[in-house]
């Protein structure tokens, strides 16, 4: 197969999506003959800088391939590590094209807005000589695994909220309550529910020593800077959102509170259950949620918003309605992936159904061994295998733990089987290194809210 003059090999193309161009596989082929060195540095909060050294072809004939490679590379780095300043070192023409793309109204307008809201500063693309590349400054930090004392663990989901009371690692009380945070403009609605959950858990223990929170979104410290739970809250009222968890904790007392992205907490739950590190947790639900802990069970301080990182280079790929980009993870590893593949499989879904209900229809067909439904989950399994190749180029993954409603039932088993088969046959070294798996029973017992409870270290 060929794309932009680069020949690449895919032996098991996704059954229902033969146009799929896996970024990770294409990237490997692109780099075989690329000799011109460039460096990309991405700076985020706290002076942290991620630096990546790579190569381009640097010829007029390969100019479009070079741009596509670097543009997608930068996009992936921004949505994995996060950042407000990107330095392109060693190629001014590429830097200038990216500067034009990353401007308000430009091709990457959404990204500019997102990262401005996250860091509250303008996203910059700098053009620097190769020898002026910033020095790396990466600091991993320990996260969780603290089970001593009386703790509250709160898991803030989009449709229900779960809270646990945990004493010395044992869950003594847990409850789930339906709520509707994504529909509420008033942050006091969210605050009231959070405080109620905290107080309920506190009433089940003799005291509260610490509070841990797992929530979708991107955070600076405990402050939600961009979060779907508060999607209806006007930015003019965001000061209340940024302090919401710290204020709620003060209702309980002077106790430490730590808030973390739910993807990272999922990876932490896996690390606690398996007793190892280098774990990526990947949840296929409403969207794609990803978290990661390194070999020492530390977090890297990255945002890991891989739902908006590119996995497919096909220019006819489905567009993500929110970010407006094509070929990004949320359309391949979520209920949207199932829904988008249904027509190609010959399954007509009632448009009056919600996305979650459409997924259930396909899963019900899969439970009856319908070959059309099987083709959908086999396709997602192929997506996953080739994306493991990509993710492994940026993360040291020894265990990829698959979570979320899409992974339930026979469909999830099929995704796992196809992914593992492709890795074994096409990428045996990677298959040997990285185990793609479902959570084991011990990991399930740890649970999201219990892992969240372990986040703070006692004073």
List C-alpha distances in Å: 294 to 80, 302, 341, 437: 14, 12, 34, 17
d(CA 136, CA 86): 13
- On whether both 278 and 246 belong to a single domain, the answer is no
Grouping H, G, I as helix, E, B as strand and the rest as coil, residue 124 is: strand
DSSP 5-53: TEE---SS--TT-TT--BHHHHHHHHHTT--EEEEEEEE-GGG-EEEEE
Helix and strand element counts for the chain (H, E): 15, 19
Contact 436, 417 (CB under 8 A): no
Pairing label, strands 279-284, 399-403: parallel
- On whether both 301 and 439 belong to a single domain, the answer is yes
Share of the chain above pLDDT 70, in %: 99
Q: Which of 226, 156, 141, 138 is nearest to 198 (CA)?
A: 156
Q: Which of 144, 128, 140 is nearest to 48 (CA)?
A: 140
List the structure tokens of 382: 């192929």
Q: What is the pLDDT of residue 322?
A: 87
- On whether both 306 and 349 belong to a single domain, the answer is yes
Grouping H, G, I as helix, E, B as strand and the rest as coil, residue 403 is: strand
Say if residue 84's pLDDT is above 70. yes
- On whether both 208 and 301 belong to a single domain, the answer is no
- pTM of the predicted protein model: 0.92
Q: What CATH code is carried by the domain that includes residue 432?
A: 3.30.420.40
If one counts the domains in the chain, the total is 3
pLDDT tens by residue, 124-158: 999 999 999 999 999 988 889 899 999 999 999 88
- Greatest pairwise CA separation for the chain in angstroms: 71
List the structure tokens of 155: 């898991």
d(CA 164, CA 179): 17
Pairing label, strands 435-437, 399-403: parallel
- Asked, for residue 363, whether it belongs to a domain, the answer is yes
Q: What is the pLDDT of residue 382?
A: 98
Q: How far does CA 238 lie from the centroid of its chain?
A: 23
- On whether both 261 and 278 belong to a single domain, the answer is no
- Asked, for residue 320, whether it belongs to a domain, the answer is yes
Q: Which of 206, 321, 195 is nearest to 252 (CA)?
A: 195
Q: What is the pLDDT of residue 441?
A: 64
Which of 132, 165, 191 marks a domain boundary?
132
Q: What is the pLDDT of residue 189?
A: 97
By residue range, what is the domain housing residue 397? 273-446
Contact 399, 435 (CB under 8 A): yes
Please report the sign of the dihedral spanned by the C-alpha atoms of residue 403, residue 19, residue 425, residue 308: negative
Average pLDDT over the chain reads 94
- On whether both 166 and 231 belong to a single domain, the answer is yes
pLDDT tens by residue, 238-259: 999 999 999 999 999 999 999 9
Share of the chain above pLDDT 90, in %: 83
- On whether both 278 and 396 belong to a single domain, the answer is yes
- Asked, for residue 147, whether it belongs to a domain, the answer is yes
- On whether both 254 and 307 belong to a single domain, the answer is no
Which of 100, 132, 164 marks a domain boundary?
132
Mean pLDDT to the nearest integer, 200-215: 96
- On whether both 304 and 181 belong to a single domain, the answer is no
Q: What is the pLDDT of residue 272?
A: 87
- Asked, for residue 393, whether it belongs to a domain, the answer is yes
Q: What is the pLDDT of residue 443?
A: 66
- Asked, for residue 28, whether it belongs to a domain, the answer is no
Which of 104, 132, 160 marks a domain boundary?
132
- On whether both 425 and 304 belong to a single domain, the answer is yes
- On whether both 237 and 381 belong to a single domain, the answer is no
Contact 327, 19 (CB under 8 A): no
d(CA 13, CA 22): 9
φ, ψ for residue 116, nearest 5 deg: -65, -45
Q: How far does CA 171 lie from the centroid of its chain?
A: 27
- Asked, for residue 7, whether it belongs to a domain, the answer is no
Contact 387, 313 (CB under 8 A): no
Say if residue 446's pLDDT is above 60. no
Residue 445 pLDDT grade (very low, low, confident, very high; cuts 50, 70, 90): low
d(CA 246, CA 117): 20
DSSP 319: B
Mean pLDDT to the nearest integer, 416-430: 98
Burial zone of 109 (CB within 10 Å; 0-12 exposed, 13-18 middle, 19+ buried): middle
Mean pLDDT to the nearest integer, 74-93: 98
Q: What is the pLDDT of residue 444?
A: 61
List C-alpha distances in Å: 337 to 286, 342, 359, 389: 10, 9, 10, 19
- Asked, for residue 4, whether it belongs to a domain, the answer is no
The least confident of 55-59, 80-84, 298-302 is 298-302
Grouping H, G, I as helix, E, B as strand and the rest as coil, residue 3 is: strand
Mean pLDDT to the nearest integer, 25-49: 97
- On whether both 429 and 309 belong to a single domain, the answer is yes
pLDDT tens by residue, 17-31: 999 999 999 999 999
Q: What is the pLDDT of residue 143?
A: 87
């Amino acid at each position: 197969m060929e794309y932009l003059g680069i020949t690449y090999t895919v032996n098991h193309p996704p059954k229902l999506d033969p146009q799929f161009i896996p970024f990770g596989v294409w990237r490997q082929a692109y780099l075989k003959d690329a000799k011109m060195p460039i460096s990309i540095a991405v700076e985020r909060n706290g002076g942290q800088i991620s630096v990546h050294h790579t190569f381009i072809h640097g010829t007029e004939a390969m100019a479009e391939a070079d741009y596509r490679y670097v543009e997608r590379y930068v996009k992936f780095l921004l949505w994995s590590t996060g950042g407000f300043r990107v330095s392109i070192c060693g190629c001014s023409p590429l830097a200038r094209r990216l500067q034009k793309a990353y401007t308000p109204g430009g091709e990457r307008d959404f990204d500019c807005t997102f990262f401005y809201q996250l860091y509250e500063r303008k996203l910059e693309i700098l053009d620097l000589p190769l020898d002026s590349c910033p020095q790396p400054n990466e600091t991993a930090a320990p996260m969780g695994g603290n089970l001593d004392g009386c703790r509250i663990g709160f898991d803030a989901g989009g449709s229900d909220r779960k809270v646990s009371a945990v004493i010395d690692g044992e869950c003594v009380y847990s409850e789930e309550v339906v709520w509707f945070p994504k529909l509420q403009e008033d942050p006091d609605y969210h605050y009231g529910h959070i405080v109620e959950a905290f107080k309920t858990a506190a009433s089940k223990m003799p005291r509260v020593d610490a509070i841990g929170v797992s929530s979708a979104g991107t955070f600076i410290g405990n402050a939600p800077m961009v979060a779907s739970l508060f999607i209806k809250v006007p930015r003019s009222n965001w000061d209340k959102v940024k302090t919401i968890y710290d204020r709620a904790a003060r209702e309980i007392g002077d106790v430490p509170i730590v808030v973390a992205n739910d993807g990272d907490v999922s990876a932490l739950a896996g690390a606690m259950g398996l007793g190892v590190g280098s774990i990526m947790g990947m949840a296929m639900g409403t969207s794609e949620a990803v978290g990661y802990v390194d070999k020492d069970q530390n977090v890297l301080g990255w945002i890991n918003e891989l739902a908006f990182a590119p996995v497919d280079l096909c220019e006819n790929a489905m567009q993500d309605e929110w970010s407006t980009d094509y070929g990004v993870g949320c359309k391949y590893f979520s209920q949207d992936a199932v829904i988008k593949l249904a027509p190609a499989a010959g399954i007509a879904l009632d448009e009056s159904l919600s996305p979650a209900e459409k997924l259930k229809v396909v899963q019900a067909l899969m439970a009856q061994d319908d070959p059309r439904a099987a083709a959908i989950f086999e396709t997602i399994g192929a997506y996953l295998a080739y994306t493991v190749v990509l993710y492994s180029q940026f993360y040291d993954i020894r265990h990829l733990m698959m979570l979320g409603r899409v992974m339930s039932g026979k469909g999830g088993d099929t995704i796992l089987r196809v992914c593992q088969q492709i890795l074994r046959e096409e990428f045996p070294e990677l298959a040997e290194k990285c185990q793609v798996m479902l959570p084991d029973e011990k990991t399930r017992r740890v649970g999201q809210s219990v892992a969240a409870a372990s986040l703070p270290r006692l004073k």
